[in-house]
Amino acid sequence: MTTTKTPVMISGPGKSGKVIGKAIQRSGDFELLPFAFTKTSSAPIEIEGVTIQCIPLSERANFDVKSRVPSNTLVVDFTLPDAILENVKYYAANGMNFVMGTTGVDKVRNDVEQIIKASGITAVIAANTAAGIVGLQSNIAKFAAANPGGLKGCTIRVDESHQGPDPQRPEFKGKADPSGTAVKLSESFATLGIEGCPFSSKDIMEHPEQYRATTFNMIRDRRYQLEVLKVPAEYLDGHGWHTYSIADPVMAPAFNAFYHGVKNFMKSSPIFNGYTKVERDSTGECTVERRSADGNVFFSVSLIYDPASYGKSPVVEAVIKHNVNGRSVYGDGTLMGLSFLRDTVKADKILSGEGAILGSKPSDGKILSMADVLRLG
C-alpha cells in the first residue's frame, strides 16, 4: 500500500460493522481493506466507496491472508456470538491483532483468553465500545468496590428501550433479550446491596411480566417508544435508552456520595469533551445533562426528592439515564480502540526487541478492555 494509513479488515459487516466501516474510512488514520470475513454470505458489499469482497467461513482456508493482507492490518470483529471462537483461532493462527465488539464473548471468555495468551497477539475486547457508557460502568463499579453494602435497603427500577419487532416487517425481529449493559451494571448494584440485584437475563426472559411489575421493564413496543418515550422515528430500528431509578427510603449511608460521584463524573470527565452541559438546581430536583454534538447520545443524573418529607421518612431518588440513537457512538469508540491497539502493538514490538533487558516475552498475548483504552484505571 502507498498510504501511511493503517489498514483495517472488517469481520462481520452487518449493521454495526458497516457503521464502523464508514467511521474507519472517514478517519484520517485508518482505511478499509477490500476484504471482509462473514459467516455464510459471499455477496460483495460497498462501504464508503470501497467494494468489499466477503469471505465466508467455508472459504476462509483458501484465502491467502499472508499475501493479500498487509502485516500491520488490524481486524474489527462485530460478528455473531457463535462465530467468536473460530474467528479468534483464525486471528491467532495468522498473527492478526483485533478489536472485538461482538456481544456474548463472556460466555467463551476463558477459551478466548487462552488462545490469545498462547498466540502472542493483542486484542481489545469490549462488549460495549461507547465511551460514555463504559466510563459510567467503571465509575459505578469503583464506587461499589469501595462501598460494599453502602446502598443496602435501596430499591431499583430499570426501564430499557431497544428496537422491537415491526408488524409491518415480519423479518425485522428487533432485540429480544434484555440490555446487556443494564445486566452488567446490576452486578455493581448488587455489590452496593440494592434489592433485587444482580439481574439475570435468563430470569428476565422467563418471567418478563414479574420483572416488568417490579424491577426491570423491557420496552419493545414501537408505538410506546414513539409516542410516550419520544424516540425519533428514524431510530426506532436502532436505539438503546436506559433509565435507572434508585430509591432510598432508609437513608442509606452511601447514597449521597453515590449520587455526587455520578454527578461529578458527568460534570467533569474528559470522556464528555465536545458534549454540551446543562445543570439545573431547583427545589425538589438537581440535574446534570450531557449531550453529544449530533444530539444522538444523552446522559443525565438527577436527584429527586420531596422537601416536605424531611424529618419524616424521606424517600430520595437518584435517576441515571443514558440514551443512544443509532450506532455512530460505537464507531467512534471502535476508532479509539483501534488507535490504542495500534499504539500498544508498536510499543510491544519495541520492548520485545529489548526482551533480554526488559524481560518481555513476545509469545505472551495481551487482552485489553475499553477501560484500558479510556485509561480509566
Integer distance in angstroms from the first to the last C-alpha of the chain?
Answer: 37
Q: Phi then psi for 240, rounded to 5 degrees? A: -145, 105
Q: What single string gives the DSSP state of each residue in 19-45?
A: HHHHHHHHSSSEEEEEEEEESS----E
Report the distance separating Cα 5 and Cα 353, nearest Å: 24
Range 6-125+329-373 has CATH code 3.30.470.10: no
Query: Rounded to 5 degrees, what angle do the CA atoms 29, 33, 38 make?
Result: 125
Closest CA to 189 of 129, 141, 239, 245: 141
Sign of CA dihedral 92, 96, 102, 106: positive
Q: Which residue has the higher pLDDT, 355 or 153?
A: 153
Q: Which three cell numbers stand for residue 305?
A: 426528592
Report the distance separating Cα 30 and Cα 208, nearest Å: 43
Tens-place pLDDT, residues 130-146: 999 999 999 999 999 99
Tens-place pLDDT, residues 16-74: 899 999 999 999 899 999 999 998 888 999 999 999 999 998 899 899 998 999 999 99
What is each CA distance from 49 to 31, 94, 205, 334, 336, in whole angstroms?
12, 28, 41, 20, 23
Q: How confident is the model at residue 243 (pLDDT cuts 50, 70, 90)?
A: very high
Q: What percent of the chain has pLDDT over 70?
A: 94
Report the distance separating Cα 84 and Cα 103, nearest Å: 9
Q: Are 226 and 289 in contact (CB under 8 A)?
A: no
Least trusted range by pLDDT, from 2-11, 322-331, 336-345 = 2-11
Query: Rounded to 5 degrees, what angle do the CA atoms 137, 138, 143 make?
Result: 100
Q: Which three cell numbers stand for residue 198?
A: 444482580
Tell me if the bond preceding 198 is cis, omega within 30° of 0.
yes
Tens-place pLDDT, residues 145-196: 999 999 999 999 999 999 999 999 999 999 999 998 999 999 999 999 999 9
pLDDT at 352: 63
Residue 313 has pLDDT above 80, yes or no: no
Sign of CA dihedral 13, 18, 20, 22: positive
Helix (H) or strand (E) holding 248: strand 239-248
Q: In the chain, what are the domain boundaries? A: 6-125+329-373, 131-326
Q: Are 6 and 338 in contact (CB under 8 A)?
A: yes
Q: Which residue intervals of 176-254 are DSSP H helices?
A: 180-191, 201-206, 208-214, 222-224
As a whole number, mean pLDDT of residues 366-374 equals 94
User: For residue 226, what are the contacts with CB-CB under 8 A and spacing of at least 6?
Assistant: 233, 236
Report the distance separating Cα 168 and Cα 236, nearest Å: 13
3-state secondary structure of 197: coil
Q: How confident is the model at residue 275 (pLDDT cuts 50, 70, 90)?
A: very high
Q: Which strands form 155-162's sheet, in the order they lie side by side?
A: 216-219, 155-162, 239-248, 316-325, 297-304, 285-291, 276-282
Residue 351 has pLDDT above 70, yes or no: no
Least trusted range by pLDDT, from 86-90, 144-148, 351-355, 358-362 = 358-362
Q: Which strands form 122-125's sheet, in the order they lie side by side?
A: 45-47, 50-56, 30-38, 6-11, 74-77, 97-100, 122-125, 366-368
Query: Rounded to 5 degrees, what angle do the CA atoms 242, 243, 247 make?
Result: 155
